[in-house]
Copies of this chain bind each other. A is one copy, B any other.
Amino acid sequence: MIKYPTGQGSNKSSQKPQTIFGRRGMSLEKMINLSNQYYLNSEIAVVHKKPTPVQIVKVDYPNRSHARITEAYFRQPSTTDYNGVYQGYYLDFEAKETTRVNYLPLDNFHQHQVQHMASCVKQKGICFVIVSFVNLNRFFFLPATIVIKYWEQQKRQGRKSIPVSTFEKRGFEFQPNSLPLIPYIEYVKSLIQLKQKR
């Protein structure tokens, strides 16, 4: 499903994967930003991380050209962090890192994000999450529909997390070995193919 430019498959674990540049210690966000940059420069897709929403309370103007914010607070985002366009298709995703080894706790998401995913899915957007199990060194793409399903189960049945086995069954695993480190457009292509088959 995921084609690596070097021809390396993510499941070739017999060989130590060739690392193009050291990504050790690099956050998932940093890897995604680099991948966004790669896709933008290659004219493959246009995806940006949204700025952190901040409630600005006080601004000083020491001089006309230089405003300085002196009091502000973080606000909860009303959407996911990333969106953009690939060949006319609307893309929308969220990235999560967890140190848990058996599951992703649902409290990594908040109500607004899941609501936003549900709205995007209804509008036929291509919507998914990218999850890094830091201590396992395992990376997954998972359709937003699965996150929404588990979120609903949380409300009804008190479910608190998405197990790794669900990522294995319903998601797609990859390793950030080559450029772009997070090859989400390959995953997007497979989601578009699935849609067209239905």
Contacts and interface: CB of A to CB of B under 8 A. Distances in A.
Contacts of A79: 48
A51 B56 CA distance: 11
Given A68-B73, A69-B54, A86 B123 contact: yes
Q: Determine how many copies of this chain the complex contains.
A: 2
Pick from A43, A67, A78, A88 the residue with the most CB of B within 10 Å: A88
Contacts of A77: 51
Interface stretch (A1-9, A23-31, A95-103, A114-122): A114-122
Interface in A21-56: 40, 43, 45-46, 48, 50-54, 56
A46 B85 contact: no
A85 B92 contact: yes
A124 B73 contact: no
Contacts of A43: 119, 122-123
Contact residues on A (Cβ < 8 Å of other chain), bracket: 35 or more
A17 interface: no
A54 B67 contact: no
A89 B87 contact: no
A106 interface: no
Given A51-B52, A68-B73, A92-B85, A120 B78 contact: no
A56 B72 CA distance: 10
Nearest to A47: B123
Nearest 5 Cβ contacts at the A-B interface? A88-B124, A85-B90, A51-B53, A69-B72, A90-B90
Interface of A: 40, 43, 45-46, 48, 50-54, 56, 66-75, 77-79, 83-92, 116, 119-120, 122-126
